[in-house]
Amino acid sequence: MVQTAVLAVIVGLFLAGVVQAADTPIKIVVLGDSLTAGYNLPASAAFPVRLERALRAKGQVVEVANAGVSGDTASGGLARLDWSVPDGTAAVIVELGANDMLRGIDPKVTQRALEEIVRRLTERRIVVLIAGMRAIPNLGIDFATGFETIYPEIASKYGALLYPFFLDGVAGDAKLNQRDGLHPTAAGVDVIVGGILPKAEELVARVRGGAALKQGGD
């Protein structure tokens, strides 16, 4: 009887620890440009806010911080990486490169900056999801090829998650974009969130899995 009671207490404490770990918010930072900053939208309609809401609706305990800066390039994101991604961050969604593409910056420059971002995050044991971008047709085939291959190459090299095209389902749709044709409306943001949500859930699962492995090794 005594042994049974002790065992029950031990199991209860173990389960309580598991619940506590599962209830600890995972801190995610979205490192991006105007597409994630929420350009010309109310703060409540910005991508990080909507993504946090969608993940929580799926039962994920997360906090998603908005580190989007309008007009930022990949090099700009690299320059502010350390203060944009504070200690305690478990995962980062990297959404950069659109402004590089629009400005016609050499894809090699963009690739070096993005790779350094992912490398440094990986060194900090932060799980990364790379949100890719596509080039507009008038930049030519050579530029488009050099630019669009950046994202899968970096993801493959560092074992990061990849969402091939951040604006999938939104780009080119006038109903989902603002008058400039470049930035999503609130409805467009919701479409983006719906598309990337499975990858975001996988991102959270990787964080949880890594935490479980760490606990098991202690």
Is 196 in contact with 131 (CB distance < 8 Å)? yes
Catalytic: 34?
Answer: yes
User: From the candidates 34, 75, 84, 100, which is the catalytic residue?
Assistant: 34
* Coil, helix or strand at residue 94: strand
Cα angle 64-169-165, degrees, rounded to a multiple of 5: 65
The C-alpha atoms of residue 3 and residue 9 are separated, in whole angstroms, by 10
> With 0-12 CB in 10 A as exposed, 13-18 as middle and 19+ as buried, what is 7?
exposed
Both tokens assigned to 113: 């900056």
Catalytic: 180?
Answer: yes
Q: State the number of CA atoms in the 13 A half-sphere of 182 facing the CB.
A: 15
Both tokens assigned to 91: 């995962």
User: From the candidates 23, 87, 142, 180, which is the catalytic residue?
Assistant: 180
CB atoms within 10 A of CB 102: 14
The C-alpha atoms of residue 103 and residue 197 are separated, in whole angstroms, by 29
Catalytic: 70?
Answer: no
Active site positions, annotated: 34, 180, 183
